[in-house]
Amino acid sequence: MTTPATWFVTGTSRGLGLELVRQLLEAGHNVTATTRSTERLTEALAGVDTSRLLALEVDLADETAVADAVRRTTERFSRLDVVVNNAGYGFLASVEDTTDADARRMFDVQVFGVWNVLRAVLPIFRTQKSGHVVNVSSVLGLVSVPGWGLYCAGKFALEGMSEALAAEVAEFGVKVTLVEPGYFRTSFLTTDSLALPTSTTEGYEAIRQMTDDHLNLQGSQLGDPVKGAAAIISLVASGDGPLRRLLGSDAYSYATGKVRALQADIEAGRELAHSTDFPQS
């Protein structure tokens, strides 16, 4: 990765995205940072040299707005090297208590918004025969737990799309990385970033208790966002490595547990799987 490289980062007003922008600017890179509030972003970057920053308020669900943001990036910095799809928020509710509007809003950000960004940047990457897409997923894109059904659905979709994308664009010299963080000590578990259902159904007391437990977890998460952002920059700088990269010891524990459980399920279904084939002649 050359310096300065040009990065396009979504979801930058707080948390991991904000820390990533800060470190990129301090390293001398060009950064387009999309956010819901450029005022909040610039206030959070007080003391940082922002002469290489292009801060834009963009509705990621608006394909035209996203394309315009990418166009403004290349006009300002003359190139584009790295895209980080980081925008997102949490949602804690039972599947039954998740409304159609809740689901569509989540997918607009976590899936369709990412797709809008990719449609805008991939022609550039293919033409220049280089580029790196970093899709920030979650360990909950590998493991699903009660209460996180909607959030996990969005991240599972992102994982599937990213895996296909990586194989599709490899021949053009374009790299794809899925970053799968665990719980990081950001504002993700506050009501600023964690959405809750408008109403709840009786009988899901365990999920309501789990919601309270998560809100109380704020401030004691294991993951350090400073180290997490530095790890993302390092992964891109190395230009190598596997598709999926876990961040956090908790993420590693969740993921390895899921692999063992999945392997057990597969082996338990071995006889059934083979029984549905046509007879071998």
Q: What residue type is assigned to position 177 of the chain?
A: T
The strand pairing partners of 53, in sequence order, are 31
CB atoms within 10 A of CB 72: 14
Q: Which residues are catalytic?
A: 137, 151, 155
Q: What residue type is assigned to position 97 of the chain?
A: D
Q: Name the helix (H) or strand (E) containing 247.
A: strand 244-247
Which residues, including other chains, have CB under 8 Å from residue 244's CB and lie 6 or more apart? Answer: 142, 178, 180
Alpha helices per DSSP H over the chain: 15-26, 38-44, 63-77, 100-107, 113-128, 149-169, 205-217, 225-238, 249-268, 270-275
Residue 109: DSSP 8-state: I
Which residues, including other chains, have CB under 8 Å from residue 226's CB and lie 6 or more apart? Answer: 19, 23
